Amino acid sequence: MSRVEVDAPQGRGELRDQPPQRESRRTTFYGTLFRNELHTTFRRWRTLALLGVLAAVPILVGIAVKIETGDGSSAGGAGGGGPAFISQITNNGLFLVFTALAATLPFFLPMAIGVIAGDAIAGEANAGTLRYLLVAPAGRTRLLLTKYATVMTFCLVATLVVGVSALTVGALLFPLGDLTTISGTTISFTDGLLRALLIALVVAASLIGVAALGLFVSTLTTSGIAAMATTVGLLITVQILDQIPQLDALHPYFFSHYWLSFADLMREPIYWDDLTKNLGLQALYAVVFGSAAWARFTTKDIGS
């Protein structure tokens, strides 16, 4: 590391390390870039509308269950229809958190992630602001990582919005207390809250593959609408294919196949097999499509 000698007023030499100063400025710039990306993403009306829709889902589910069970009947009926855990909501409002996540994960959550990720690069290119970002000293790789980190932050925020909305509605409309797990054992309400938080984190992590896919699609076009539509279309197509029995051999490789494995966190003891497969599959999709997005973004002039 080089050092520069500077004359002090008293005539003595003072050694100053220049590289750490540059490193500090660089770190500050990257932090500012990430904060700006977060501010830009979460102040958009589109983002707020998506979060509003996600927050409304638990409210609608809770009200529907309350109305249906107002005469003392059991939610879900004898047939046990509806999302997972729905028959337990009337006994404990905390189950509304699990039901809401199970109801939003197949479509609403990934659709919201697809919209944000699909617009991350293509939207900037369409608006003409991407070329200015590429001139900044962050570089294309760091800019892409910042975009991905922003999308992942939205994944976490969107999941927590669903969870907090469901917990609030559940507390207002239904009793709270100790929980009965899928295995039939009873856990405390505090333990149930911790498991609800863990489930929310697992659901957010289950969307990292979708985020990488959307980011890759976003690098292929300069139209934000086209990128968002393509990403959401791919999400729907994959989930349809995951329901076709003739494609059973391919199902374990679809990123949506293990999404509902978070229910195993409500077992005693917890079953980790499908949870591990889910997180590993999401990591694989993130690496594959993240690498493809990096290769496209760093080698093509998509800002013009």
Helices (H), the chain: 18-42, 45-68, 95-104, 108-127, 130-135, 139-173, 189-205, 208-218, 224-241, 273-299
Average pLDDT, the chain: 83
Secondary structure of residue 56 in the 3-state scheme: helix
Instruction: Quick: pLDDT tens for 22-47.
Output: 555 555 545 687 888 899 889 999 99
Q: What is the H or E stretch that residue 180 is in?
A: strand 179-180
Q: What is the pLDDT, as a whole number, of residue 68?
A: 81
As a whole number of angstroms, the distance between CA 202 and CA 86 comes to 20
Contact between 16 and 4 under an 8 Å Cβ cutoff? The reply is yes
Q: What is the pLDDT, as a whole number, of residue 272?
A: 92
Q: What is the mean pLDDT of residues 100-117?
A: 92
Per residue in 77-110, is it b (16+ CB within 10 Å) or e — as a string? eeeeebbbbbbbbbebbbbbbbbbbbbbbbebbb
Contact between 173 and 93 under an 8 Å Cβ cutoff? The reply is yes
Q: What tokens does 223 get?
A: 């139209």
Res. 204 pLDDT band, cuts 50 70 90: very high
Question: Greatest CA separation found in the chain?
Answer: 91
Q: What tokens does 65 get?
A: 């269950």
Greater confidence (128 vs 245) lies with: 245
Res. 54 pLDDT band, cuts 50 70 90: very high
Query: Residues of the chain with pLDDT > 70: what percent?
Result: 80
Q: What is the mean pLDDT of residues 170-192?
A: 90
Instruction: Quick: pLDDT tens for 278-290.
Output: 999 999 999 999 9
As a whole number of angstroms, the distance between CA 285 and CA 217 comes to 13
Q: What tokens does 64 get?
A: 């529907």
Q: What predicted TM-score, i.e. pTM, was given to this entire model?
A: 0.82
Q: What is the pLDDT, as a whole number, of residue 223?
A: 84
Instruction: Quick: pLDDT tens for 140-172.
Output: 888 889 999 999 999 999 999 999 999 999 999
Does the pLDDT at position 125 exceed 90? no
